[in-house]
A = this chain, B = another copy of it.
Amino acid sequence: MSGNTFGKLFTLTTFGESHGPALGAIVDGCPPGVPLSEQDLQHDLDRRRPGTSRHTTQRREPDQVRILSGVFEGVTTGTSIGLLIENTDQRSKDYSKIKDQFRPAHADYTYHHKYGVRDYRGGGRSSARETAMRVAAGAIAKKYLASLGIQVRGYMSQLGPLQIEFKQWECVGDNPFFCPDPERVAELEAYMDQLRRDQDSVGAKITVVADGVPPGLGEPVFDRLDAELAHGLMSINAVKGVEIGDGFASVSQRGSQHRDEMTPDGFLSNHAGGILGGISSGQSIIAHLALKPTSSITTPGRSIDIHGEAVEVVTKGRHDPCVGIRATPIAEAMMALTLIDHLLRHRAQNADVEVSTPRLR
């Protein structure tokens, strides 16, 4: 209720500040009997981990996750899974200067007005460091989904002004940008190098795709699969927009063009992004998210302090010039968490349903 829990049947509840002693999470509702180890989680954590290329923050966190409960003799037991990552590379002194100032476009001002008090070190709870636990929990969800043939993958589809066309999944893991076109990587590197020299930051667009999702997931009316996906993806730091399928391009489309016709051999197109009436159709589920440029830049900006006085703010510390670069595993996690939650919800109510109509792809 207070915002630190995601999901209704497969729930993730998290805690932890950027510069506190640890990040932690409780994953509840995981089916029993799922083989699970810390290595399963570490793989995705390492994909998100900072400090692995010159294009992300230089904070170096090993992000070693421990499973403290809910797994016994290598499989999940169905009870709550406790996860813990100790913080090791906090440098809180970097932030003491801005204790009483509000960085523009940051959560400082809004947390201050909401709570009256805030852990100002590194953004406290509002830091994207919080997303580590999403990725760890998402890895559990992915593991179970994979056992049902469901695969969730993402890639960067735009970096600042540079649109990137999808070419192949194979190369996405081979470059620090999650770029799906190997021939564009050098261009992205050059763009980022110039951006750092400009002491500025830039936005990005990420695309996430789930393949193998059976038809029927999603609840009618308010908890449509697309609505909850939008919720999950928009809850990621810096996200300002979410699209399903053709998204905003649908506005200027005509019905005769947008509707995905069906034949016995399958759908003829996928403008809908795999969701009709809020329920999965069996086609690939496709979502796009827009991430804003981070506000933590060293170019001075005008702001106020807690007394309402004008100040000039320069954000020091170690920051990502494009938070979108590390966002792909986080977006995958939120889609996986949304899907597993809806899978369990669907199963609860509709376990008895048998349909003889063939499924299309």
Give which listed residue, B264, B308, B324, contacts A358 with CB less than 8 A. Answer: B308
Chain B residues, CB < 8 A from A255: 105, 200-202, 293-297, 299
Check A353 for interface membership: any CB of B closer than 8 A: yes
One of A19-27, A44-52, A165-173, A175-183 contacting the partner: A19-27
A1-37 interface mask toward B, CB cutoff 8 Å, 1 = contact, 0 = none? Answer: 1111110110111111100111110101111110000
Distance A7 CA – B137 CA, assembled complex (angstroms): 23
| Closest Cβ neighbor of A105 among chain B residues | B259
CB distance from A234 to the nearest CB of B (A): 4
State A21–B246 Cα separation when bound (angstroms).
Answer: 36
Supposing A69-B17, A235-B221 touch, asked if A347 and B346 sit within 8 A by C-beta, the answer is no
The residue that A82 contacts in the complex, of B15, B124, B307, B350, with Cβ under 8 A, is B15
Residue from the list B16, B33, B114 in contact with A78, Cβ < 8 A: B114
Bound CA span A220–B198, Å: 31
A279 touches B107 (CB 8 A): yes
Tell me the minimal C-beta distance from A130 to chain B in angstroms.
6
Asked if A226 lies at the interface with its beta carbon under 8 angstroms from chain B, I say yes
| Interface residue from B82, B220, B223 paired with A126 (Cβ < 8 Å) | B220
A64 sits at the interface (CB 8 A):
no
**Contact partner of A293 among B12, B221, B254, CB < 8 A?**
B254
- Measured between beta carbons, the chain B residues less than 8 angstroms from A107 are 276-279
Contact of A42 with B by CB under 8 A: no
**CB of A251 to closest CB in B, whole Å:** 4
Q: How far is the CB of A240 from chain B (nearest CB, A)?
A: 5
A216-B114, A357-B113 known; A304+B263 contact, CB < 8 A? yes
Closest 3 CB pairs of A and B: A107-B277, A3-B219, A201-B255
Seed contacts A201-B256, A241-B250; 5 additional CB < 8 Å A-B pairs: A3-B28, A224-B235, A227-B235, A256-B301, A264-B304
